[in-house]
């Protein structure tokens, strides 16, 4: 297992288009988290899954955002009708359910033009 | 007021210096305290983890947590140019599902 994998690494899209990102966690990890990070800021929590159940969503996650984790394996984060304010690094992390085992992927950098 | 406050720096030190990084927080429910290191265009990497108050040492790194003051610190001894990165403090609680709240990060530059 090579860690948490995120694809694509970079995405440039026009305002109003839909985008989807994928995260493949460490295989034995049951928890999966999505964060967003803008320049000069720390990551901000968006949502998390325990197995296939989405247990919490941040107020940052507007109706244009949706996340899924079918069968408790990989996860997707979709943003509909993208806006320039959505430009950020989207980070995925997975864990076994304790904070000392949190492993992040390298992120997907989204640029909305 | 943010839940976690961290001075963004930048902090520039000569090689070999002792570096002190700090964060304050407001939520007394936090039980787990972490420091992450993040290089440019990479995801954060867990550096140190502490449960509740106390000190933890790992090589050149020492993490301190003072829950009574809601204050955490990271010390780096004998700093190296390879330590140049952004250091993020982070906190979580069991009741919060271990979702982690991060500080803004401090950019550190260690000059050779």
pLDDT in tens, B31-75: 999 999 999 989 999 999 998 888 999 999 999 999 999 999 999
pLDDT in tens, B61-110: 999 999 999 999 999 999 999 999 999 999 988 776 678 899 999 999 99
Nearest-angstrom CA–CA distance, A73 and B50? 29
DSSP bridge partners of B106: B87
CB B91 within 8 A of CB B30: yes
- What per-residue confidence (pLDDT) applies to A1? 54
In the DSSP assignment, the letter for residue A64 is T
B41 touches chain A (CB under 8 A): yes
> Residue A49: its chain B contacts at CB < 8 A?
none
pLDDT in tens, A93-104: 999 877 676 899
Nearest-angstrom CA–CA distance, A28 and A112? 34
Ranges of chain A whose pLDDT falls below 70: 1, 99, 101
The dihedrals phi and psi of B18, each to the nearest 5 degrees, come to -90, 130
- Residues 6+ positions from A7 with CB-CB distance below 8 Å: A21, A22, A24, A108
Closest Cα of chain A to B17: distance in Å? 24
Nearest-angstrom CA–CA distance, B6 and B10? 11
Q: Least CA distance to A34: which residue of chain B? A: B99
Q: Is A42 in contact with B34 (Cβ distance < 8 A)? A: no
Q: Is B42 in contact with A107 (Cβ distance < 8 A)? A: yes
- Optimal mutation site among B25, B63, B98, B102, interface A, most CBs of chain A within 10 A: B98
Nearest to A99 among B41, B43, B49 (CB): B49
- Residues 6+ positions from B93 with CB-CB distance below 8 Å: B27, B29, B30, B31, B32
DSSP bridge partners of B70: none
């Amino acid at each position: 297992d090579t860690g948490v994998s995120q694809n694509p690494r970079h995405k440039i899209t026009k305002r109003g288009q839909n985008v989807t990102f994928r995260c493949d966690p460490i295989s034995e990890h049951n928890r999966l988290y999505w964060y967003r990070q803008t320049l000069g800021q720390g990551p901000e929590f968006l949502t998390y899954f325990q197995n296939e159940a989405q247990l919490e969503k941040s107020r940052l996650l507007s109706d244009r955002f949706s996340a899924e984790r079918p069968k408790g394996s990989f996860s997707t984060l979709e943003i509909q009708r993208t806006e320039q304010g959505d430009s950020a690094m989207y980070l995925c992390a997975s864990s076994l359910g304790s904070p000392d085992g949190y492993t992040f992927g390298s992120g997907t950098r989204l640029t909305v033009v | 007021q943010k839940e976690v406050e961290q001075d963004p720096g930048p902090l520039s030190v000569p090689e070999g210096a002792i570096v002190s990084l700090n964060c304050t927080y407001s939520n007394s429910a936090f039980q787990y305290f972490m420091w992450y290191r993040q290089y440019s265009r990479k995801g954060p990497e867990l550096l140190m983890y502490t449960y509740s108050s106390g000190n933890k040492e790992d090589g050149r790194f020492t993490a301190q947590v003072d829950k009574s003051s809601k204050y955490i610190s990271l010390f780096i001894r004998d700093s190296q140019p390879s330590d140049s990165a952004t250091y993020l403090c982070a906190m979580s609680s069991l009741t919060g599902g271990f979702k982690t709240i991060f500080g803004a990060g401090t950019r550190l530059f260690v000059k050779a």
